[in-house]
Structure 1
Amino acid sequence: MPFAPSTFAIGDTDFLLDGQPFRVLSGAIHYFRVHPEQWADRIHKARLMGLNTIETYVPWNAHAPKEGSWDATGRLDLVRFLQLVAEEGMRAIVRPGPYICAEWDGGGLPAWLFRDGPMRIRSSDPRFLAAVEGYFGHVLPMIEPLQVQHGGPVILVQVENEYGAYGADADYLDAITALLREGGIQVPLTTVDQPTDEMLANGSRPGLHLTASFGSRSAERLQTLRRHQPTGPLMCSEYWNGWFDNWGAAHHRTSAGDAAQDLRVLLAHGASVNFYMFHGGTNFGLSNGANDKGIYEPIVTSYDYDAPLDEAGAPTEKFWAFREVIAEFAEVPDELPAAAAPAPVFETRFESVRPLRDALPAIGELSDGLPSHDERDILSGFSLYRTPISVDGDAVLEFAEVRDRALVSIDGDPVGVLSRELGERAITLPSNAQGVLELLVEDQGRVDYGPRIGEPKGLIGPALVGGEPLGHWELLGLDLEALRAMASGGATPTSAMIAGPVLARAGFRLDEPADLFLDTAGWGKGVVWVNGFCLGRYWSRGPQRTLFVPSPVLRAGENEVTVFELHALANRLAFCAAPELGHVDS
């Protein structure tokens, strides 16, 4: 480690590093949203903006996707990420949850927690605390040796996350605090809440240092925080300098000038800050979450966040505006990050396609009732439900709920789509429908905020046709790697458009690896892999029209793209010079 063992404490007015005032100038980078070979670049650019600290969440469900598992390799190597922070001469803040929100699938809580029925999450429910203890038993040994007293970068660890917006279980916060201390965490512990009297009161406990989350009206909000935290340093530990996007909405952009002015006010009040986000990155794979405040709204693949560094790591207008403000209060390096060069532009066609029906097994797991995904241990991704039907005349197919989107067909002939987002749970079947009813269901992301966290996915019964129950169902889970593997054995496409659901493959050559932007114009809805690395979801609804391809997943010479398209796919694989994240509301 580049640091000598140090002390970090909370003084009467300041954070104290080895007894000297230390203003935390931090930026959020989620290691799990950035390719690990690009971590060092993003961390270095944070220092060039004038920051001295990097903050990150820890996603429980990514590290433990199945009960009893634990993965801290590759994109999940938290230790290596924190070591790179230290090598850059920067400090670190770690927020291990157990709940993180972060617009991440399930708010970071593993889906398997809820397999045995409802659990009182984020509470002193003994079942939940026992699970958290097991999680902390894995993650805290990664953090403990990297604290400042051991010569590591970690100066602060957060207890839970915006808990005052969710509950007021003081015993729960005390239990999480005790588990952190028992796990060897000795640095100061913080909380974060939006600066309202109710949230700050509900989310605080004696011995925890309160911080706030906001993106405007800095003076007013710091004043509210000071009422609840009478002594010690003021800190906005989530300075919202941008926002995330939902499918079907506009791309969020906020004024760099306004954000810089609010930052100036914040720093002039002597406060510390953590930019949320400094660099957002990407919801690779199927890792995006969803909001549901009465309407289900899944998050897009890009987590660009209109941040100081864009999704591909290039400085934005906010980078320069914030750097200028920071320079009024602290030293900034003379070195400047290079401007991003245009990405390679080229185009090709798909070499083979295979209808999904031709790739699937004939029979899934049988059930007498209608099982949810969770009852079959399908914790993310896609599934296929099947049952025979025989209808005289006209009839309506209906469910209690569809979570989250289902393509309905009979013997492969499309009937329509049921969308949770649109509140659709019933559809008219063709007259005298006969054959095998199939529903290809997509889990579009588990709810990450509010009371619907932990709900089952898939089709929720009863399932009725003409008011009568449908009894025997087959359910086949289609995980990501299984889908990609099914793409082999396709035929060469001859038409300009390819009918889905389909698996398509194409190849392209590169002289050398470079960041790319995959153009999804003319594609419907689906998932993309490049050289086996899942970039994530695309959807013609927008707002985003490109997918970021990090250069480390590419190679000089031949590369392969696999696409799983649900609807219709233009026979065109194209890459463009810059990201296109969609229209912006004026």
Structure 2
Amino acid sequence: MKKSLTILSAALLFLSTNLQAQKATHKFELGDSSFMLDGKPLQMISGEMHCARIPKEYWRDRMKMAKAMGLNTIGTYVFWNAHEEVQGKYDFSGNNNIAEFVKIAQEEGLWVVMRPSPYACAEWEFGGYPWWLLKDSSVKVRSKDPRFIEAYKKYINQLAKQLVPLQVTHGGNILMVQIENEYGSYSDDKSYMDLNRQIFREAGFDGVLFTCDGADQMTKGYLPGYLPAVNGLEDPVEVKKLINKHHEGKGPYYVAEWYPGWFDHWGEKHAKVAAEGAAKKLDAILGAGISINMYMFHGGTTRDFMNGANMNKTEAYAPQVSSYDYDSPLDEAGNPTEKFLKFRDVIAKHLPADIKLPAVPAKKRTIAIGDIQLSGYAPVFNKLPKGLTSKTPLTFEELNQAYGFVLYRTHISAAGLLKVKELRDYATIYINGKQIGTLDRRLTKDSLQLVNVPKNAVLDILVENNGRINYGPYLTDNRHGITREVSLDGKIVQNWENYSLPFANLKGWKYTAANIDKVQPALYKGTFEVSDVADTYLDMRRFGKGFVFLNGHNLGKYWNIGAQQTIYVPAVWLKKGKNEITVFDQLKSGHTKISTLADPILDSPVAAK
């Protein structure tokens, strides 16, 4: 018995010692020219990735890949709308477990630069703001509007419970925290910026705070007295000059977003940045002793309906694709690219001679699955939810709906020019159930000539939220659906039924074997079995526009205008044995099968006929 107690005591002592070692506090501070960790210069070589864009089962794998490339730090945004989709209900579980993401980084020997400012941009829906802030159209986000600030404070206080204990000041690995994000691209109210600082401090974020802005916007966006980082600037001399100018003539020098790749919009070519040229720029930056965060090191995938969109006063609305491959060093599926290998060689040059990088893991195995039969068919118009009657069309927000689709239905008895004023964002038009055309905010196409309209015809307008704007001057003008009115030859059309179709899940839909060839929005369901599980890519080239669910996971959107023509399927979401897939298509019909490929297609602007 005594021997057992002695062994138990030794084990507990060992565990306690280990826990103390893990919680060992470090001192992180700003030196005149570099970051200082425990009194010694630290050059942060960081790469951005987001827990919401990576299946949680792969977080550790991606961290190990970061170490293998030579990174010592991870940069990450936190998306408010992922954690508070319903006002007052906070979710930090599963793929939203940001604390676990940070802890895994610490276990893998990585520091973290945390970017939890409520506005993230990040090609993410509404820039990370929750949709419900728009329910009152007079609320102004990114301002001192008391209604916005009250919601902001409540969220940050909840987030603080997750992250404050993980700061370096508390024995964790979060080195510093960003307040706001590229604010200079939006406005220049220093009192608002200081209010951000105050909110973070009061919530318990007691370490180093910083801001980041584009080079031309730093003067408007930085907060005097706090470290100003720069985004997108690659000339080491200019980086130091700019930060000196805004930080009392000193550093440290930090490029908070250095772009080795770029994101994609629907209907445009896949963005590419040459590996050789990017590696030379990285070499110059690191050689100058500047700390850097690669945006992105690993992009992952923007699943569900969470893609954002860009729009400004001179450029039209442009929604982003679901793939967030970003032409980054680690591709969408977590595989090393040519860029990864070149960057690894550059980083190795700038590390102490005694540091040896881990071996680069091999590319992950992929599979191609042959024809999957889509035997179940559920036309959307056949099972509409209860509608809400209104004189004029209601917005998503007025219907208490976040994402997805709304069907607007009325009756008309004449032909003419149909105009949807301030359409947000894409619509398919039907007369008596027959598809007659589409409207597209991207193309500023908001009108359609109707001909041969019978008396008392049913007019259906199916409107999709293609992604709320995430950057620029229109953040506060982000309501969706039909946001103004519908007119026919200049006369306002009234008396509507509004049907909410959020597709948050696919429960309740009834499927039949019959698959009519009428072009209507519909769900196509199939089951298939696999004995071998690996990454794969759904081939969407023969489909129109919609989204795909696999085993309960919304994998994201597809659109035949490209350039993305495949959807990444993580191996961890496939099952050995029976799997279930459901495809929603609003443009094409008659689908009977789907297959997968072993490699992605991200750069094909025209789909197969």
Q: Classify the TM-score, shorter chain.
A: over 0.9
Q: Which residue of 1 aligns with 2:230?
A: 212
Q: Is the 8 A contact 1:124 1:169 kept in 2?
A: no
Q: Is the 8 A contact 1:215 1:240 kept in 2?
A: no
Q: Which residue of 1 aligns with 2:367?
A: 343
Shift of 1:584: 8.9
Q: Deviations over 1:25-48 (max 9, x none)?
A: 111110000100011100110011
In the alignment, the residues of structure 1 paired with residue 580 and residue 233 of structure 2 have an alpha-carbon distance, to the nearest angstrom, of: 42
Q: Which residue of 1 aligns with 2:438?
A: 417
Matched, 1:459 2:482: yes
CA RMSD of aligned residues (A): 1.8
Aligned pairs for 1:265-304 (under 5 A) are 265-293=284-312, 294-304=315-325
Q: Which residue of 1 aligns with 2:244?
A: 226
3-state SS of 2:349 partner: coil
Shift of 1:550: 1.1
Matched, 1:405 2:429: no
- In structure 1, give the amino acid aligned to 2:264: D
- In structure 2, give the amino acid aligned to 1:485: K
Identical aligned pairs, as a percentage?
38
Q: Is the 8 A contact 1:487 1:562 kept in 2?
A: no
Aligned pairs for 1:561-580 (under 5 A) are 561-569=581-589, 570-580=591-601
3-state SS of 1:247 partner: coil
Of residues 300-309 and 15-24 in structure 1, the stretch that sits farther from structure 2 once superposed is: 15-24
Question: Do the aligned partners of residues 44 and 3 (structure 1) sit closer, same or farther apart at CA in structure 2, a change above 3 Å counting?
Answer: farther
Q: Is the 8 A contact 2:46 2:73 kept in 1?
A: yes
In the alignment, the residues of structure 2 paired with residue 432 and residue 110 of structure 1 have an alpha-carbon distance, to the nearest angstrom, of: 41
In the alignment, the residues of structure 2 paired with residue 499 and residue 115 of structure 1 have an alpha-carbon distance, to the nearest angstrom, of: 33
In the alignment, the residues of structure 2 paired with residue 541 and residue 432 of structure 1 have an alpha-carbon distance, to the nearest angstrom, of: 30
Q: Which residue of 2 aligns with 1:247?
A: 266
Matched, 1:473 2:499: no
- In structure 2, give the amino acid aligned to 1:276: Y
In the alignment, the residues of structure 2 paired with residue 522 and residue 178 of structure 1 have an alpha-carbon distance, to the nearest angstrom, of: 53
Equivalent residue pairs, number: 577
Q: Which residue of 2 aligns with 1:6?
A: 26
Q: Which residue of 1 aligns with 2:40?
A: 20
Q: Which residue of 2 aligns with 1:555?
A: 575
In the alignment, the residues of structure 2 paired with residue 421 and residue 151 of structure 1 have an alpha-carbon distance, to the nearest angstrom, of: 48
Q: Is the 8 A contact 2:522 2:586 kept in 1?
A: yes
3-state SS of 2:231 partner: strand
Aligned pairs for 1:7-406 (under 5 A) are 7-196=27-216, 199-214=217-232, 216-229=234-247, 230-293=249-312, 294-330=315-351, 331-361=355-385, 363-391=386-414, 394-406=415-427
Q: Is the 8 A contact 2:529 2:578 kept in 1?
A: yes
Question: Do the aligned partners of residues 368 and 3 (structure 1) sit closer, same or farther apart at CA in structure 2, a change above 3 Å counting?
Answer: same
3-state SS of 2:336 partner: coil
Q: Is the 8 A contact 1:218 1:262 kept in 2?
A: no
- In structure 1, give the amino acid aligned to 2:39: G
Q: Is the 8 A contact 2:564 2:605 kept in 1?
A: no
Shift of 1:110: 1.2
Shift of 1:253: 0.8
Q: Is the 8 A contact 1:215 1:259 kept in 2?
A: no
- In structure 1, give the amino acid aligned to 2:90: W
Matched, 1:485 2:503: no
3-state SS of 1:421 partner: helix
- In structure 1, give the amino acid aligned to 2:422: E
Q: Is the 8 A contact 1:498 1:568 kept in 2?
A: no
Q: Is the 8 A contact 2:269 2:603 kept in 1?
A: yes
Shift of 1:572: 2.6
The TM-score with structure 2 as length reference comes to 0.92
In the alignment, the residues of structure 2 paired with residue 219 and residue 325 of structure 1 have an alpha-carbon distance, to the nearest angstrom, of: 19
- In structure 2, give the amino acid aligned to 1:297: A
Of residues 560-569 and 363-372 in structure 1, the stretch that sits farther from structure 2 once superposed is: 363-372
Shift of 1:498: 7.9
3-state SS of 1:193 partner: strand
Shift of 1:344: 3.3
Question: Do the aligned partners of residues 388 and 499 (structure 1) sit closer, same or farther apart at CA in structure 2, a change above 3 Å counting?
Answer: closer
In the alignment, the residues of structure 2 paired with residue 581 and residue 209 of structure 1 have an alpha-carbon distance, to the nearest angstrom, of: 38
Shift of 1:398: 1.4
The TM-score with structure 1 as length reference comes to 0.95
Give unmatched runs, 5+ long, in structure 1. none
Q: Is the 8 A contact 1:98 1:109 kept in 2?
A: yes
Q: Deviations over 1:102-140 (max 9, x none)?
A: 000000011111211232321222222222111111111
Matched, 1:532 2:542: no
- In structure 2, give the amino acid aligned to 1:52: N
In the alignment, the residues of structure 2 paired with residue 213 and residue 297 of structure 1 have an alpha-carbon distance, to the nearest angstrom, of: 22
Q: Is the 8 A contact 1:415 1:430 kept in 2?
A: no
In the alignment, the residues of structure 2 paired with residue 417 and residue 528 of structure 1 have an alpha-carbon distance, to the nearest angstrom, of: 21
